[in-house]
Amino acid sequence: MLEAQLGTRSLVALLGDWRNSASGPSYLALFDRIRLLILDGRIPADTRLPAEREIAGALEVSRTMVTAAYRELREAGYTSVLRGSGSVTRLPGRGMGPTETAGSGLIDFTRATLPAAPGIMAATEAALGAYGRYLGGTGLHFAGIPELREAVAARFTARGLPTSADQILITNGAQHAIFLVSRVLLARGDRALVEQPSYPHASDALMLAGARLVPVSVTVGAGWDMAALETAIRRTSPTLGYLMPDFHNPTGESMPEELRERVIGLAHGQGTVLVIDETAGELNIDRPGNLRPFAAYADAAQRSNIITIGSVGKSVWDGLRVGWVRADAGIIQKLTAARPAGDFGTPVLEQLVVAELLADMDEILAARSVQLRTGRDHVLGVIAERFPEWTPGVPAGGIATWVNLGAAVSSQLTLAARSHGLLVTAGPRFGQGGTLERFIRVPISFPVAELDRGLAALALAWQSLPNGTLLQSQFFADVV
Ligand SMILES: Cc1ncc(COP(=O)(O)O)c(C=O)c1O
């Protein structure tokens, strides 16, 4: 196994304000923070940590302290020590990792998903009827089967963005689309504009493609920092800008219409391709007006600079793993040509199921809106009652609320939540450089009983934070 090396400077940035967030000995605070970074994927498995001596120097702490923290990591199974290689990260045994929740009894708030929409079984039965038509062929449709490409294009057209089937590529979910677009559009060292906070797996994909990220802040209530966005686009001429105008994950913000036109104009002027992630774009709770796709705000020339990504993951069910890219036919051809290096297409049956479901999308989305409103209002009610120090965002749509904890203790709260049986993602996972320690993302997408179980665990974790930490940490303002 080839290990990646994590640089000292990178680790220090990821650690952020690690000292402030825990009581007890410093080595345990350092251990805890590195452990969280490994658990939530900010330090991937098989990464070689910096040498103890270097990290002690950079943090201005004693070597003995770092040695003790590294020993804890090793004993708890978060690193192995390889001869000549130092400490290499790994995920500890079953039931500990964020993805190993099945059967573990843990409540998982790290993935804000919705239960499957009714109608999938009926759609699957109907799809089986059409399946036979495909069995005589190769089954390989790199850009997607014709009827789903048509159906996705028709839905864009109906929503106000005229689209033809050759402008659609079917993917294995939106994440796959983000990865493919990043791989094709970016070269090592290119700049990519991202929101801060942003959807972490998109940032991961952009960085894997070699991008240098240029973060621009989005805040609850105030939304996009337009001045910063303008400066970032003009000064850095990013190759690509990855944005979630509706509904931004994790804040739930929706970009005002006049801002959309300005962003489109700016990006077009600078030759920046906008990659617009509308995975949660139709999960409207109470945004007024109709939800036109972002690219509908652009004129024909500007539109050729916009790539729209979507999926049925949140609207229908994540288990379908079907998403799409909408772009100019030339870009679709490029993406299709690049695809076989990674995969040969999306399963035909799932595509047929989604083609069936798209016909009922308005009905499905109306039901989603009711579910999400119930979840949001419930979460906000519980927070007001049990966590008076917190200031949650009130999302007009989407799958989560972005909560300001009033103190820079998100990592510490996340670790405490783990010991109360709840997996939840710490704020810094959504940003760059160890910021966002005052925030946590709380899903609104689950049924009320599950939300309650998670919130009860969160309340226990909150109460378990050492007295004084909260007061003390008020003095450490976060960057965002
Ligand atoms: C903003 C955003 N983009 C993309 C994805 C990935 O979607 P999919 O499950 O369709 O791959 C998610 C999933 O949570 C998301 O929130």
What are the φ/ψ torsions at residue 159 (nearest 5 degrees)?
-90, 5
Query: In whole angstroms, what is the distance from residue 218 CA to residue 436 CA?
Result: 11
Query: In whole angstroms, what is the distance from residue 343 CA to residue 172 CA?
Result: 9
What are the φ/ψ torsions at residue 166 (nearest 5 degrees)?
-75, 0
Regarding the beta carbon of 313 and ligand 1, being less than 6 Å apart is answered yes
Residue 126's identity, in one-letter code, is: A
Contact 75/422 with Cβ under 8 angstroms? no
Render each residue's pLDDT in the chain as its tens digit; 480 residues: 567 889 999 899 888 888 865 568 899 889 988 988 888 878 888 889 999 999 999 999 999 999 999 999 998 888 988 777 788 888 876 443 333 344 568 899 999 999 899 899 999 999 999 999 999 999 999 999 999 999 999 999 999 999 999 999 999 999 999 999 999 999 999 999 999 999 999 999 999 999 999 999 999 999 999 999 999 999 999 999 999 999 999 999 999 999 999 999 999 999 999 999 999 999 999 987 778 999 999 999 999 999 999 999 999 999 999 999 999 999 999 999 999 999 999 999 999 999 999 999 999 999 999 999 999 999 999 999 999 999 999 999 999 999 999 999 999 999 999 999 999 999 999 998 778 999 999 999 999 999 999 999 999 999 999 865 554 444 333 332
- Distances, alpha carbon 360 to alpha carbons 118, 153, 169, in Å: 11, 15, 21
Query: In whole angstroms, what is the distance from residue 41 CA to residue 423 CA?
Result: 13
Instruction: List the one residue out of 450, 399, 395, 446 whose CA is nearest residue 421.
Output: 450
- Distances, alpha carbon 117 to alpha carbons 121, 175, 314, in Å: 10, 20, 10
Query: In whole angstroms, what is the distance from residue 66 CA to residue 183 CA?
Result: 38
Regarding the beta carbon of 242 and ligand 1, being less than 6 Å apart is answered no
pLDDT, position 207: 96
For each of the domains in the chain, give its residue range(s) and CATH number, in order of start. 4-89 (1.10.10.10), 107-113+363-473 (3.90.1150.10), 120-359 (3.40.640.10)
Regarding the beta carbon of 109 and ligand 1, being less than 6 Å apart is answered no
- Nearby residues of 276 by Cβ (< 8 Å), 6 or more positions away: 243, 244, 245, 293, 294, 295, 306, 307, 308, 309
Q: What is the pLDDT of residues 288-315, one digit of tens each?
A: 777 899 999 999 999 999 999 999 999 9
Contact 198/480 with Cβ under 8 angstroms? no
Instruction: List the one residue out of 396, 372, 113, 111 whose CA is nearest residue 248.
Output: 396
Regarding the beta carbon of 199 and ligand 1, being less than 6 Å apart is answered yes
pLDDT, position 64: 93
pLDDT, position 83: 74
> Which ligand 1 atom lies nearest to the CA of residue 399?
16
Query: In whole angstroms, what is the distance from residue 337 CA to residue 78 CA?
Result: 40
Instruction: List the one residue out of 454, 452, 445 whose CA is nearest residue 399.
Output: 445
Q: What is the pLDDT of residues 56-95, one digit of tens each?
A: 999 999 999 999 999 999 988 889 887 777 888 888 764 4
- pTM to 2 decimals? 0.86
Token pair in block for residue 463? 């109460």
Residues in the chain: 480
pLDDT, position 94: 43
Mutate which of 199, 307, 346 for ligand 1? The one with the most ligand atoms within 8 Å of its CB, which is: 199
Query: In whole angstroms, what is the distance from residue 245 CA to residue 259 CA?
Result: 10
Mutate which of 242, 249, 276 for ligand 1? The one with the most ligand atoms within 8 Å of its CB, which is: 249
Query: In whole angstroms, what is the distance from residue 114 CA to residue 110 CA?
Result: 13
